[in-house]
Copies of this chain bind each other. A is one copy, B any other.
């Protein structure tokens, strides 16, 4: 008998690779945080002697969700600015509140709250991108959540930085600090085409090439962004980035709502990834990204929640369902973005966007055991003809029973195992008192 750390018998396992595969009455074997094997339950019992052997008889076991775009600490600004015009949302609410309140403490507390929400929702990896990224990285590592931490870069000063030079040196320091950490990776994060100059983009390109670093950018989010780029630079933002040498498989474009055929072809040619944030795009009135066309062009499309100030939840299962529904509705074709494609976008495509697809995103021997169980024994998901359809079209994050990151059991019976929720309540209450006073002043 082969000794291992963990064996889980699940009613169903959907490994994501190969596509459409649903295994019934299989087990997954885990050792030293990595997947050893997927095999029929009876064979698993004969082969492995597991220190921990779990039964999940009504559950579907899947790779953990990858939230490929969020601003975690903005959880503390959840619900401060709804139903407002974009300019008022940012100029009268979000930006004044950020200038007044964002600090290392704010980012620690807000990241903790957001990471707790995400772990409970089956998210095992997050691309997080906000001021004070060194704080977010610390919190993620402490909570044992896998994270790609983006260092924001812009030309203008902000709560965390005095300007482009300062942003860049802080981003490089972050990169050096977390090199070779098993859970934390980093990325350079130029905010958007409209907040970053050509000169700064050129420096980002040089550093990214030297360090082989990921680069994340908000790209083609709104019509105003496109119009501004054409007015100032004479070309659409993606063409400007191409001329600046930024397009590459290491580039992650977030949103890509305003994308025509030429934009999509250019992104596909570069082999870059796009992150679709459907709830945020709808809620801010930006529209619907043409993901059916993007997938047809061979683009890697991942999913993100965006921050809680524009969503307002951090629920990747919700984004997964909405992505599938919106693609069908906007193309008038119910066959596009089927359940398997939606699940792959929410897992493996996210891993690929972050340069981690050889390590996470599917249940394949050798990858990290980043995974979650969803309990389908619920009136909302009975009967089960297709666990894949139930997962994508009917189940909710409240049905996530277990979550593991690198084999560590972080959520059990729908509860965090290593974290006192009372602490989150206290922190949230403290911040809401401080911030509510200011909202009333600016409202």
Interface hits, A357-412 → B, CB 8 Å? 377, 379-386, 389-390, 393-394, 396-399
CB of B325 within 8 A of CB of A79, answer: no
B396 touches A315 (CB 8 A): yes
A386 contacts B79, C-beta separation under 8 Å: yes
Q: Is A82 interfacial (CB 8 A cutoff)? A: yes
CA A84 to CA B425, docked complex, whole Å? 45
Q: Which one, B113, B326, B380, contacts A314 given CB within 8 A? A: B380
CB distance from A200 to the nearest CB of B (A): 30
| In the complex, A245 has a CB within 8 A of chain B | no
Q: How far is the CA of A284 from the CA of B324 in the complex (A)?
A: 11
- Asked if residues B334 and A89 are in contact (CB atoms below 8 Å), the reply is yes
Q: In the complex, how many residues of chain A place their beta carbon closer than 8 angstroms to a beta carbon of chain B?
A: 73
Contacts of A270 in B (CB 8 A): none
A120 to B378, CA, bound (A): 10
Instruction: Check A334–B284 contact: CB distance below 8 A.
Output: yes
Would you call B335 and A83 a contact (CB within 8 A)? yes
Known contacts A80-B385, A117-B380; decide if A281 and B329 are in contact (CB<8 Å).
yes
A428 interfacial by beta-carbon distance below 8 Å: yes
Sample (16) of A-B pairs whose CB atoms are under 8 Å apart: A78-B381, A78-B382, A78-B385, A79-B386, A117-B380, A279-B325, A282-B328, A285-B331, A287-B332, A312-B394, A313-B393, A313-B394, A385-B436, A396-B396, A396-B398, A398-B398
Query: 5 closest A-B pairs (Cβ-Cβ)?
Result: A398-B398, A282-B329, A383-B432, A285-B334, A83-B338
